[in-house]
Amino acid sequence: MIAIFMVESFQRVCYLLAMINQIPIHQIDWKLCTHWILAFADLTPNGISITPSMDYYIHQVLQSNRTETKFMLSLRADQETMNFLSDVNKTMKFVESVSNILDHYQLDGFDLDYECHNGLRPTDVETAY
């Protein structure tokens, strides 16, 4: 599945959902979007991690065609993630793990896909961490 969101008139950001994507990588027109967000990394007690299948998928995507396209990694965040990040030591591990993964894959950025669930209001984000 590919979801397209317009951010600005000059940028088009697309999510590429690795586990449910039905479009073969070689058939994706990378010029459709200026930024591709590869979803999703996993949250672990030591920060974020990449499953072997996601590792394979990221390598396939990056080998296909980069041109001037930006590729980023996403973590689906929920209240559990925000609770995790409320601990300073865990936050430091999280930031270090994100940095290491971005460097390892030579990705251009990171997306924390936080969505309010379980009755949280958007204003609760400030108190969630």
Sequential pLDDT tens for the chain (129 residues): 556 555 555 788 998 887 665 778 888 888 889 999 999 999 999 899 999 989 988 998 898 876 788 999 999 888 888 888 899 999 999 999 999 999 999 999 999 988 766 555 555 555 544
Separation of alpha carbons 12 and 31, rounded Å = 10
How distant, in Å, are the alpha carbons of 20, 82, 87, 105 from that of 71?
18, 24, 29, 10
Q: Which two tokens stand for residue 25?
A: 């990588």
Q: Which CATH number covers residue 16?
A: 3.20.20.80
What pTM was computed for the model? 0.78
Q: Looking at the 3D structure of the chain, how many domains does it have?
A: 1
Question: What DSSP string describes 28-85?
Answer: --GGG-SEEEEEEEEEETTEEE--HHHHHHHHHHHHH--TT-EEEEEEEE-HHHHHHH
Which structural domain, as residue segments, surrounds residue 77? 2-128
